[in-house]
Structure 1
């Protein structure tokens, strides 16, 4: 009997060694809020690309960088930007067994960077804190209601966090009293090392717009080399805090120099380069998706009317109806 058990143990160990471990990832899309409701025809392309998760992004709006009032969940917003719309999107995606990250976001008029949001008086700081709490706790309630796998407590709000750390510590406690799932925060690619509250969350969330190549049409090899200065720092940070890395956003535009400043989203870059988008995306997958300390990510961005967006002449982020869509599908299928 003893020898049989020893043989069985060896057989199991050898058998396990023969099959490489492939950790399950959040193979996600950032599902853009729209004017109208969605149905199965809008969800099917998400399934077809191999995605197993989606970020749902209700919005709050601020007039300028020092205005403390967040307008949210009103009948003046697009349906998908409201609580009711977000819930309807989630319900449709759930029918296809898609996991959910609820990721409320702020939009500042004229597209000002949210990381620069900063009040000039204590009174306005207090007003902003109250307004942000109303906004984020409403969607924490939604996340709990729909049993979302992840709730993102904010996106790229470095100055707000830097100047009001005690508020954020208290806010996280309030969120945990409402929502019982996993928490993250979406830090900008150059912000995450300064974010002070990772140990209170479950994932280190990064909007992964790291520069990886200055070339007009970078090769996969160029971009892999570009990641060599970023990846060890990210991995060390993950291991230091004992938290997996989650790319709360990732992606590249289909333009020349797509790996140089991947965060640029304005319309000054118009020269379409589909190959650059393919190569930068392949390199990102090759660098991270096989790592056990990496939890996956949500590609930026995915529109509900799949047949009417993207395409060979589109210079923006969406991978839809471009060669890079097949790249994403191949990796998502491999790690699903």
Structure 2
């Protein structure tokens, strides 16, 4: 049976406001690549692209787990059920085909145990797929794209831990950089061909998600230029024939606040890197108010049908102006990151949202080790005690979840 889909979110476009910040800024999810909110569709605010595209499948400024240990899988205290908040993290996986299945299983157990230790009940597995340039009509797997059977095994291990699972293919942007491009402004020369290629790519992953009973499959992420295209009707219809769970779409925060996100899916997530022009000593109350001002541009009051699919910020001075800035490495300030996490969690609860996933943990890393700030992204939160404390407080709060309310 076809599930009820998200109604079109009609809203008048908001006025775009320029921000003056100390780092390059762009209106898109990437700091010149995507994230925090400037007006050039591609600065460096996202923070995620460089580690994804230049990594070799090894550690991103952290210690990799020793391949010899095989930890037992811990279990969540209270497994997620519909109506409960999704408390989770984005696990970004650039696979290395030379890694054995035993290594993959060991890493999955390591991350499952770490998440259970944070009192998470959910995990989203993001992984890259590839295209050649902005006009390309071909979507492909690369060496870093996990094979569907390896993904299925990771999902199985997460389910052993009692975690709710989401699968999220994410277009890699390395090949787009020469054109100052990001995934949100691709312009396929032939949309019929692009969508046919994309559907061919996602089909085996939908089957893997179904075989392991994943809860959500994100059919697209931050594809601003393709939102509203009628081809999505066929893609989603076919996905729903293969996958009995929830088919979702994750919108970039700028598109979300500017106008309707028209996608024929049953759930909408936001990759949310709202810039707030405040000092490093800003209170949690001030940060939460800044987030609410952004959200109010779209709709006031509860947002029970919205999930914060990505939230994060650098543990460094000046980060509130550009929360997704990966490339800049200013002076480390763990309190900046911890306060942001606390504020975001408060907003999620006050607005009755479906939950939050923190960006991010890298699959090959050992999340139990402290980041090496000489090389690691400031956005890394695993191994930062103040932020982990904030996450645990969030995930053990008395927030019961959005329940069965309807979206505003």
Of 270, 274, 285, 2:345 maps to: 285
Q: Is residue 223 of structure 1 aligned with residue 287 of structure 2?
A: yes
Distance 2:277 2:387 in 1: 18
Structure 1 residues 125 and 258: CA distance shift in structure 2, 3 A? same
Cα deviation, residue 176, structure 1: 1.2
Larger Rg, first or second structure (1 or 2)? 1
Give the structure 2 partner of residue 189 of structure 1.
253
Q: Unmatched 5+ residue regions in structure 2? A: 1-82, 401-408
Alignment RMSD: 2.3
Q: Does 2:335 correspond to 1:275?
A: yes
How high is the TM-score relative to the length of structure 2? 0.67
Instruction: Write the distance in 2 (CA, Å) between the matches of 1:225 and 1:77.
Output: 39
1:109 counterpart = 2:170:
no
Shift of 1:311: 6.0
Question: Structure 2 CA distance, aligned partners of 1:261 and 1:90?
Answer: 33
Q: Residue 157 of structure 1 aligns with which residue?
A: 223
* CA distance 1:311–1:202, shift in 2 (3 Å): farther
TM-score normalised by length of structure 1: 0.81
Distance in 2, Cα, partners of 1:100 & 1:151: 9
Structure number with the higher helix fraction is 1
Please tell me whether the aligned partners of residues 217 and 257 of structure 1 are also in contact (alpha carbons under 8 angstroms): no
More deviation, 103-112/295-304? 103-112
Q: What count of residue pairs does the alignment treat as equivalent?
A: 298
Counterpart-to-counterpart distance in 2, 1:27 and 1:56 = 14
Label 1:234 to 1:283 Cα distance change in 2 as closer, same or farther (>3 A).
Answer: farther
Q: Which has the higher contact order (CA 8 A, sep 6+)?
A: 2
Moved over 6 A (4+): none
Q: CA deviation at 1:157?
A: 0.2
Structure 2 residue corresponding to 1:214, chosen from 267, 275, 278: 278
Secondary structure of 1:184's counterpart equals strand
Gaps of 5+ in 1: 1-22
- Distance (Å, rounded) in 1 between the aligned partners of 2:122 and 2:292: 28
1:326 paired residue number: 389
Q: Which of 63, 67, 86 is matched with 2:151 structurally?
A: 86
- Summarize deviations over 1:251-286 as a string: whole Å, max 9, x none: 111122222122332x23433221111111111111
Contact 2:195 2:231 survives alignment (8 Å)? yes
In structure 2, C-alpha distance between the alignment counterparts of 1:257 and 1:202, rounded to whole Å: 37
